[in-house]
Copies of this chain bind each other. A is one copy, B any other.
């Protein structure tokens, strides 16, 4: 076949033409928001390809990487959330959607381990079903933005064990529900439970995201934290962490999720009477903080 000079000119400018064709193909989209999202995604991905002059081989590697990421996901592992996390996307989504009234608890990422339903527990229960860590009491109140206690607020809590593993990562070692609990605040909005002090730990590195971290010379560690989702009638739920003050990696979290307002002291308490009251050995650690919810608009 022959290609004359006119065809060559068309080819040179064809990058933009493909983009316009792809965006125009969305014109019959029923939901305007879906059309907006896909149109924006197409434009940004096409600009990325043009700016970097992505090669065929690099495109093939990207397809292989995304395929492996999807196929690493199971009922108990979410590698795409992990990928979103290490690219800072999860934290960005949290940030732009977490613009709360002054005083309300800031949000941070969900993370990839909120995969099972937390077992309902009573206030004061120990969510550490295994032991071996430093005993700790976590307590505080769930409040509305004006300081009103939120009776009956629900707290979904999950954390890794002292070795840095969540129950779903070690079904043969940890009992299901270890490190997890669904608590209901009392009539004064108070919550308290026992656990062990969490430790910093690496995000899972045995999958495609781990390979990405190695290729980019990044460590996989997260500073020590406990996850919370706090919800109450008439209020916007907040998904957040409480970070342990003084933990390593607070300034280089692998998933960029640290906010200074979420860092709390896990103070050493030497008070035999209080220890007896909480049912923990003396001395113990205690973290006390309030979770403040924004009224739903």
Instruction: Give residues in A with beta carbon < 8 Å to B.
Output: 1-5, 7-8, 10-12, 14-15, 18-19, 21-22, 25-31, 34-38, 40-42, 44-56, 58-59, 63, 66-71, 73, 78, 80-81, 84, 87-100, 102-106, 215-218, 239, 252, 256, 259-262, 264, 289-292
Contacts and interface: CB of A to CB of B under 8 A. Distances in A.
A14 B95 contact: yes
- The 5 A-B residue pairs with the shortest CB-CB distance, nearest first, are A70-B70, A28-B217, A22-B88, A44-B44, A29-B216
Contacts of A31: 215
A55 B14 CA distance: 33
Max chain B Cβ within 10 angstroms of own Cβ: one of A25, A26, A81, A104: A25
A290 B264 CA distance: 72
Given A29-B216, A216-B29, A264-B1, A256 B21 contact: yes
**This chain: copies in complex:** 2
A87 to B, nearest CB: 6
Find the residue from A37, A91, A93, A103 having the highest chain B CB count within 10 A: A93
Contacts of A89: 45-46, 49, 59
A31 B40 CA distance: 29
